[in-house]
């Protein structure tokens, strides 16, 4: 076993070294006129800012990148980014969570068009974001900000923010798209959208509708290859999953300085629900509503920009046990409602200040065997201030502070400060930042059990420093960032007699002493070749993370599911003047310590896994594109969560048309 692991690590090192060497030797031949993309991002500052002017650690995934990969799972797409880890219990539709820089999943905030999607009543009780049914449909881009963003987003943003921004309709008549896919495990997928842009009494408007459905009869969620105890039944069934997603978007510009938007979406899902390593006659049904109204106004010749928004989310889940009565074993419902005002004033060309006021309310309900066990509401208010400055076009500085008033807990102050400095003539950018995080206990953690002590909010501080280096006329970019997070009052779940819960259930939540995560994020992006009609791009990313708890019993242990080593590599070949592309994505992951179930026993393990995915697309006729992909080409054992399969070998083909 140890020899196999050593050989795997040796092969991994040789492959990474060879690819890096290819980048260095190919770079001098790169075209001198290739353009560098510097997209406008909003998540890191809540204002439209060039990515090069943002001192925070930001990754942008465009709609073109999402389409070229073909994967239906947002969690799997973003897990190919440095500093991001996703784990799940069986692939698309099943439980999926995202960690950043080794922090737990409840420290990652998920936004969809600004709406907070962290469920106050998620079944794991942590108030984490459910990535289960979030599929890659109707997405314009995904912005990922690593590091604490509490100064802008409050609780749940201690580890980072994932912001999914949906597509905006064109303003010139009818447009639409339809795409169908079929593949392994009887997988069927249909995406469709239609929009119209025109004018009402000279007022520009757009109206769009998007629909998506995903259905599959497998794979088996339970791990069929694990070690089984004597007499234990081997799982064999395939597990069904169904997801429907509908969204409606209306935008209107009454004047040149006023833009309004109203949007609404509903997501329905039903999946078979198995335990680790066991088939079971039960399933989980869920429904999520997401809605909002946003109005942007510009005054004083554009120097003052205002944003007023109302956001809402309602998420319900039912766990159905078909072999017992009552069948509805557990039911959860979470509601979130937020009102926000944001004003940005340009003090000068290089300095702008942003002030914000926000109020939100979270409600959680839980029923066990049809009996109400939790029904609580917590309110939260925020006042924030941010200053963005640029000095001599070389130094970019962003400082932010917020004052949080969160329900029954003490008010707190959070901040974030960051700077980026371009060294002229070298292609080098130095980056550094520091910030604090704040996560109040979830409604469940506070009220579901009789905790022995009053819970305190988790508080964290983060430091990061690194650099970006452009090489060969900007055709190669090397990025390195070191980080360290320190978290106090980490909330842990205890279950069992003798652990100090002192209640009838022998279950409770307590504040542990400390959690620390630290590591290194590195990436290399390069345009290896640029011809008249084709090109070859490459990406290598590597993240090293050490994540550790120190609890009140002085027993140190690594954070669950936080892999110490993760490496990703991609090669993308575009041809025929952009009409076609072929890409290969490889991932190597050293899993963290976690309980691996073997019958009634559980032991800890630390293993490695790797897989390679292929995807291709080609525009056959104008607007008509054929797609194909292979997941886990070499059918490797790939587990992101112990006891559950994820991304087995599969072949998928599809056809899409845009007009």
* Domain ranges for the chain: 2-658
Q: Which two tokens stand for residue 640?
A: 């992101």
**Tokens coding 292:** 């909002």
pLDDT digits (tens, 9 = 90+) for 177-216: 999 999 999 999 999 999 999 999 889 999 999 999 999 9
Whether the Cβ atoms of residue 514 and residue 486 lie closer than 8 Å to each other: yes
At 24, which helix (H) or strand (E)? helix 2-26
Tell which wins on pLDDT, 490 or 355: 355
C-alpha–C-alpha distance, residues 515 and 520, integer Å: 17
Distance CA 550, CA 384 (A): 33
Long-range contacts formed by 395-399: CB under 8 A, 24+ apart: 395/419, 395/420, 395/421, 395/422, 396/53, 396/54, 396/55, 396/420, 396/421, 397/55, 398/44, 398/45, 398/54, 398/55, 398/56
Topology of domain 2-658, CATH: Maltoporin; Chain A (2.40.170)
Confidence label for 228 from pLDDT (cuts 50, 70 and 90): low
Average pLDDT over residues 249-268: 96
Q: Distance between CA atoms of 355 and 475, rounded to whole angstroms?
A: 38
CA atoms of 586 and 608, how far apart (whole Å): 14
Burial of 392 (0-12, 13-18, 19+ CB in 10 A): exposed
Q: How far apart are CA 570 and CA 531, in angstroms?
A: 19
Q: How far apart are CA 522 and CA 568, in angstroms?
A: 11
Q: How far is CA 561 from CA 384, 492, 495, 538, 546, in A?
A: 34, 15, 19, 28, 11
> Does residue 598 carry a pLDDT above 70?
no
Encoding tokens for residue 225?
Answer: 């290859």
Q: Which of 612, 614, 599, 609 is nearest to 641 (CA)?
A: 609
Distances (CA, A) of 29 to 32, 472, 530, 534: 9, 9, 9, 15
Which residues contact residue 24 at a Cβ distance below 8 angstroms, ignoring those fewer than 6 apart?
none
Give 18's contacts (C-beta < 8 A, 6+ positions apart): none
Q: What is the tens place of the pLDDT at every residue in 307-320?
A: 999 999 999 988 88
Length of the chain: 659
Cβ atoms of 125 and 448 closer than 8 Å: yes
* Residue, of 272 and 32, whose pLDDT is higher: 272
Residue 602 in this model has a pLDDT that exceeds 50: no
Which own/partner pairs from 23-27 qualify as long-range (CB within 8 Å, at least 24 positions apart)? 23/476, 23/524, 23/526, 23/528, 23/538, 23/540, 26/526, 26/528, 26/529, 27/471, 27/472, 27/475, 27/476, 27/526, 27/528
Mean pLDDT, range 248-260, rounded to an integer: 96
pTM to 2 decimal places: 0.89
Residue pLDDT, tens place only, 229-240: 556 566 666 788
Of 485 and 226, more confident: 485
Per-residue pLDDT, 583? 97
Residue 17 has pLDDT above 80, yes or no: no
- Whether the predicted pLDDT of 504 surpasses 90: no
Q: Which residue has the higher pLDDT, 305 or 22?
A: 305
User: Residue 217, CB half-sphere, CA atoms under 13 Å: how many?
Assistant: 7
Three-class SS state of 65: helix
Give the span between the Cα atoms of 345 and 302, in whole angstroms. 9
**Collapsed DSSP state (helix, strand, coil) of residue 444:** helix
Q: What is the DSSP letter of 73?
A: B
Confidence of residue 8 (pLDDT cuts 50, 70, 90): very low
Distance (Å, whole) CA 336 – CA 378:
10
Residue of 491, 379, 387 lying closest to 445 (CA atoms): 491
Element (H, E) at 75: helix 74-78
Is the CB of residue 74 less than 8 Å from the CB of residue 81?
Answer: no
3-state secondary structure of 150: helix
pLDDT in tens, 451-482: 888 899 999 999 999 999 999 988 999 999 99
Give the pLDDT confidence score for residue 28 in this predicted structure.
38
What's the CA dihedral at 153, 45, 63, 102 to 10 degrees? -50
| Mean pLDDT, rounded, for 293-303 | 96
Token duo for residue 24:
């260095």
Distance CA 129, CA 122 (A): 8
Rounded CA-CA distance 247/139 in Å is 12
Average pLDDT over residues 97-113: 92
From 138, 140, 122, select the one nearest 130 (Cα to Cα).
122
Residues facing 358 on adjacent strands:
340, 382
What is the structure's pLDDT at 213?
A: 96
Task: Return the pLDDT at 199.
Answer: 94
pLDDT at 650: 94
Average pLDDT rounded to a whole number, residues 559-582: 90
Tokens of 196: 């119209």
Identify the DSSP state of 184.
Answer: G
* pLDDT top residue among 604 and 47: 47
What does the angle CA 362 – CA 365 – CA 366 come to, to the nearest 5 degrees? 145
What pLDDT is attached to residue 1? 35
User: Around 567, how many Cα atoms within 13 Å sit in the side-chain half-sphere?
Assistant: 18
Token pair 């109020």 is at which residue?
A: 359
- pLDDT of residue 147 exceeding 80, the answer is yes
- Beta strands 282-299 and 594-598 are unpaired
């Amino acid at each position: 076993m140890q020899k196999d692991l050593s050989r795997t690590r040796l092969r991994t090192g040789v492959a990474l070294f060879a690819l890096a060497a290819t980048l260095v030797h190919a770079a001098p031949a790169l075209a001198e006129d290739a353009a560098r993309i510097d997209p406008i991002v909003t998540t890191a500052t809540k204002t439209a800012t060039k990515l090069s002017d943002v001192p925070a650690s930001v990754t942008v995934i465009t709609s073109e990148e999402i389409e070229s990969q073909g994967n239906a799972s947002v969690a799997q797409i973003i897990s190919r980014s440095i500093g991001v880890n996703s784990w799940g219990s069986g692939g698309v539709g099943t439980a999926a969570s995202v960690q950043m820089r080794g922090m737990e999943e409840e420290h990652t905030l998920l936004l969809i068009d600004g709406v907070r999607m962290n469920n106050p009543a998620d079944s794991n009780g942590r108030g984490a974001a459910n990535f289960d049914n979030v599929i890659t449909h109707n997405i314009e881009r995904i912005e990922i900000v690593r590091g604490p963003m509490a100064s802008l987003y409050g609780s749940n943003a201690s580890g980072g923010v994932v912001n999914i921004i949906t597509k905006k309709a064109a303003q010139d008549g009818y447009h639409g798209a339809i795409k169908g896919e079929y593949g392994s495990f009887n997988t069927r997928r249909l995406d469709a959208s239609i929009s119209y842009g025109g004018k009402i009494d000279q007022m520009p408007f757009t109206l769009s509708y998007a629909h998506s459905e995903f259905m599959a009869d497998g794979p088996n969620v339970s791990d069929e290859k694990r070690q089984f105890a004597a007499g234990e039944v081997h799982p064999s069934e395939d597990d069904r999953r169904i997801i429907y997603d509908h969204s409606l978007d209306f935008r209107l510009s009454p004047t040149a300085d006023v833009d309004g938007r109203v949007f609404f979406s509903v997501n329905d899902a039903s999946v078979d629900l198995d335990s680790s390593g066991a088939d079971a006659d039960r399933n989980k049904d869920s429904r999520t509503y997401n809605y909002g109204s946003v109005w942007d106004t510009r005054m004083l010749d554009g120097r003052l920009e205002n944003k007023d928004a109302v956001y809402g989310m309602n998420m319900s889940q039912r766990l159905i046990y078909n072999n017992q009565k009552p069948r509805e074993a557990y039911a959860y419902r979470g509601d979130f409602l937020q009102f926000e005002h944001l004003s940005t004033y340009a003090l000068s060309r290089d300095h702008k200040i942003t002030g914000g006021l926000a109020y939100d309310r979270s409600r959680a309900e839980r029923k066990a065997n049809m009996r109400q066990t939790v029904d609580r509401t917590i309110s939260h208010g925020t006042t924030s201030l941010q200053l963005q400055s640029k000095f001599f076009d070389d130094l970019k500085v962003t400082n932010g502070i917020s004052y949080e008033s969160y329900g029954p807990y003490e008010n707190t102050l959070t901040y974030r400060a960051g700077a980026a400095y371009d060294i002229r003539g070298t292609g080098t950018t130095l980056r550094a930042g520091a910030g604090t995080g704040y996560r109040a206990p979830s409604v469940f953690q506070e009220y579901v059990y009789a905790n022995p002590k009053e819970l305190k909010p988790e508080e964290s501080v983060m430091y990061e420093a690194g650099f970006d280096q452009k090489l060969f006329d900007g055709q190669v970019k090397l990025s390195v960032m070191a980080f360290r997070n320190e978290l106090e009052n980490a909330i842990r779940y205890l279950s069992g007699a003798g652990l100090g819960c002192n209640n009838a259930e022998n279950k409770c939540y307590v504040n542990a002493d400390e959690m620390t995560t630290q590591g290194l994020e590195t990436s290399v992006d390069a345009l290896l070749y640029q011809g008249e009609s084709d090109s070859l791009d490459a990406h290598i990313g590597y993240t090293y993370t050490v994540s550790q708890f120190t609890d009140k019993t002085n027993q140190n242990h690594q954070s669950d599911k936080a892999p110490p080593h993760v490496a990703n590599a991609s090669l993308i070949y575009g041809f025929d003047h952009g009409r076609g592309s072929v890409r290969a994505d490889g991932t190597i992951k050293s899993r963290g310590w976690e309980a691996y179930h073997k019958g009634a026993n559980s032991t800890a393990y630390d293993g490695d896994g790797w897989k390679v995915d292929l995807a291709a697309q080609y525009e056959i006729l104008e607007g008509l594109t054929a797609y194909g992909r292979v997941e886990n080409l070499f059918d490797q054992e790939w587990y992101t969560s112990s006891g559950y399969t994820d991304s087995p070998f599969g072949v998928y083909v599809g056809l899409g048309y845009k007009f």
